[in-house]
Structure 1
Amino acid sequence: MLSYKNESFGDDAETWPDDANANLELLIHDVDQLKSKSIGYEKIMWERVGTELEKETIRFKVWKSSKYEAYTMVN
């Protein structure tokens, strides 16, 4: 997936990769908390969710020029 922004989109578009990565970290943290508080089948399911998150965590790379920025997702 590739997206770009023109200067007219403003500051929000510049921070979304950092925001997305921070949200992923919070989600992983919340799942870890639920794993530690759960027992039985529920714990097994949260462990599976955590395993999938660790495998599929996406980070964003930024390419910038004087006029455009491009964001790509990498595993």
Structure 2
Amino acid sequence: MSKELTKKAVEMLLNGATLVSDPCPYCKGVRIIKEGNAFCVNCGREAKDRNISKDEKPEDGVKESSTLEKLDQKLKDLTDELQG
């Protein structure tokens, strides 16, 4: 991490920026966000986030739903097994 990036990160934090829980997608470093712009303290890159509208659904929505259903069924089976 360069001194310039550290200085920029400190200035952003002092001006109301917050730390992001998700790591940088490029280098896995710590990110800071302010006004919707996430800045990586380690590499200095800003992630290019794709905004998804409320009407638009992720492509893997069906897959995610079926996975949740499988997990729910497994939990029910395990509960029945432990109780029986």
Please say whether Structure 1 and Structure 2 have the same fold, judged by a TM-score greater than 0.5. no
Name the larger-Rg structure. 2
Q: Normalized per residue, which structure has more helix? A: 1
The normalised TM-score by structure 2 is: 0.32
Q: Normalized per residue, which structure has more strand? A: 1
Greater relative contact order (CA < 8 Å, ≥ 6 in sequence): 1
